[in-house]
A and B are shown apart, each in its own frame.
Chain A
Amino acid sequence: MANLDVVTQEKTRLCTFTIEENYYGVDIDSIQEVSSELVFTPIFHAPTEIEGFSNMRGEIYLVANLKAMLGFEKSDHKSCNRVLYMKNKIGENFGILVDQVSDVLEVDNKTLEDNESTDSINDLCQQVCFVEGKVIAIVNAKNILNNIHLNRGGLK
Chain B
Amino acid sequence: MQNFDENIVNEFVIESKEYLEQVESHLLEIEKDFEHYNSDVINIIFRAIHSIKGASGFLGFTKIGDLSHVMESLLSSLRNDEFKPNSKMIEVLLKGVDLLTTMFDDIQSSNQVDIENVLKELKNVKPTDDETVNEINQVFQTSITSFVINQEILDLKPKEHNHIYELHYDLFQLSKEGKSPVKVFKEISSFGYVLKTKSQRTKIDLATGNLNTNIDVYVLYSTALEIDMLEMATGLSSDMFSEVLIEQEKATDDNLDASNDFAKNNPLEEKSQEVSSQNLDAKGHQDKNQETIRIGVKILDRLVSLAGEMVLVRNKYMQAIKNESMEDLKTLVHSLDLVTSEMQESIMQTRMQPIANVFGKLPRIVRDLAKKLNKEIEIETSGDEVEIDKSILQNLTDPLVHIIRNSCDHGLEDPKFRIDCGKPAKGTIKVSAAHEGGVINVLIEDDGRGVNLERVRQKALENGLKTEVELKNMNHKEIVNLIMLPGFSTAEKVSEVSGRGVGMDVVKTSISNIGGEIEIESKETIGTKISLRLPLTLAILPSVIAELNGLAYAIPQTQVEEIVAINTEDDNMTEFANNQEVLKLRESLLPIIRLIDIFENKEAFDFKVKNKLMSKNKNSERYKKYAVVVKVKQIRYGLMIDRIIGMEEIVVKPIHSKMNEIKIFSGATVRGDGKSSLILDIEGIAAHADLHVESQESESKEGAKFVNNEERHLIFQNFHNEYFAMPLQQIQRIARIEENKIETLNNLNYYNLDNQAVQILDLDNDTRSDTKSDPFLLLPKEEKFEFGVSILKINDIADIATDVSENNESKDKLIWKNHVVQLIHFEQINALHAEKIELHKRFERRA
CA distance in complex: A61, B653 (Å): 11
A107 beta carbon closer than 8 Å to chain B: no
Known: A39-B675, A54-B676, A55-B670. A45 touches B662 (CB 8 A): yes
Cβ contacts under 8 Å, B730 to chain A: none
B248 beta carbon closer than 8 Å to chain A: no
B664 beta carbon closer than 8 Å to chain A: yes
List residues 78-114 of chain B with CB under 8 A from any CB of chain A: none
Whether A41 pairs with B662 at a CB distance below 8 angstroms is no
A53 beta carbon closer than 8 Å to chain B: yes
CB distance from B5 to the nearest CB of A (A): 28
CA distance in complex: A75, B599 (Å): 21
List residues 86-110 of chain A with CB under 8 A from any CB of chain B: 92-94
Number of interface residues of A (CB under 8 A): 26
Cβ contacts under 8 Å, A53 to chain B: 656, 668, 676, 678
Q: Could you list 9 A-B pairs, sorted by A, with CB under 8 Å?
A: A44-B598, A44-B662, A46-B659, A46-B662, A52-B676, A55-B675, A60-B668, A60-B676, A150-B661
What string of 1s and 0s marks CB contacts (under 8 Å) between A51-66 and chain B? 0111100111110000
Known: A44-B598, A53-B668, A59-B653. A145 touches B678 (CB 8 A): no
A31 beta carbon closer than 8 Å to chain B: no
CA distance in complex: A61, B669 (Å): 11
CB distance from B44 to the nearest CB of A (A): 46
Cβ contacts under 8 Å, A154 to chain B: 602
Cβ contacts under 8 Å, A34 to chain B: none
Whether B658 pairs with A145 at a CB distance below 8 angstroms is yes
A42 beta carbon closer than 8 Å to chain B: yes
A70 beta carbon closer than 8 Å to chain B: no
What string of 1s and 0s marks CB contacts (under 8 Å) between B599-628 and chain A? 110100000000000000000000000000
List residues 139-156 of chain A with CB under 8 A from any CB of chain B: 145, 148, 150, 154-156
CA distance in complex: A92, B659 (Å): 11
List residues 562-612 of chain B with CB under 8 A from any CB of chain A: 598-600, 602
CB distance from A113 to the nearest CB of B (A): 30
B422 beta carbon closer than 8 Å to chain A: no
CA distance in complex: A61, B599 (Å): 21
B295 beta carbon closer than 8 Å to chain A: no
Whether A44 pairs with B664 at a CB distance below 8 angstroms is yes
CB distance from A90 to the nearest CB of B (A): 13
Chain A residues proximal to chain B, CB less than 8 Å: 39, 41-46, 50, 52-55, 58-62, 92-94, 145, 148, 150, 154-156
CA distance in complex: A45, B668 (Å): 15
B284 beta carbon closer than 8 Å to chain A: no
CA distance in complex: A43, B656 (Å): 11
CA distance in complex: A44, B601 (Å): 9
Whether A55 pairs with B551 at a CB distance below 8 angstroms is no
Whether B675 pairs with A62 at a CB distance below 8 angstroms is no
CA distance in complex: A137, B664 (Å): 37
CA distance in complex: A52, B655 (Å): 11
* A-B residue pairs, 10 tightest by C-beta: A44-B599, A62-B656, A154-B602, A53-B676, A41-B676, A55-B670, A55-B676, A60-B668, A45-B662, A60-B653
- Most chain A beta-carbon neighbours within 10 Å: one of B602, B658, B659, B668: B658
CB distance from B680 to the nearest CB of A (A): 11
CA distance in complex: A44, B674 (Å): 20
B665 beta carbon closer than 8 Å to chain A: yes
Cβ contacts under 8 Å, A60 to chain B: 653, 655-656, 668-670, 676
CA distance in complex: A59, B676 (Å): 9
Residue of B nearest to A53 (CB): B676
B756 beta carbon closer than 8 Å to chain A: no
Q: Which one of A41, A92, A93, A94 lies within 8 Å of B675 (CB-CB)? A: A41
B677 beta carbon closer than 8 Å to chain A: yes
Known: A55-B670, A150-B662, A154-B602. A41 touches B657 (CB 8 A): no
Whether B658 pairs with A148 at a CB distance below 8 angstroms is yes
CA distance in complex: A75, B656 (Å): 24
CA distance in complex: A42, B599 (Å): 10
**Given A53-B656, A53-B668, 13 new contacts (CB under 8 A):** A41-B551, A41-B675, A41-B676, A44-B662, A44-B664, A55-B674, A60-B655, A60-B676, A92-B658, A94-B656, A94-B658, A150-B659, A150-B661
CA distance in complex: A43, B653 (Å): 15
Cβ contacts under 8 Å, B662 to chain A: 43-46, 150
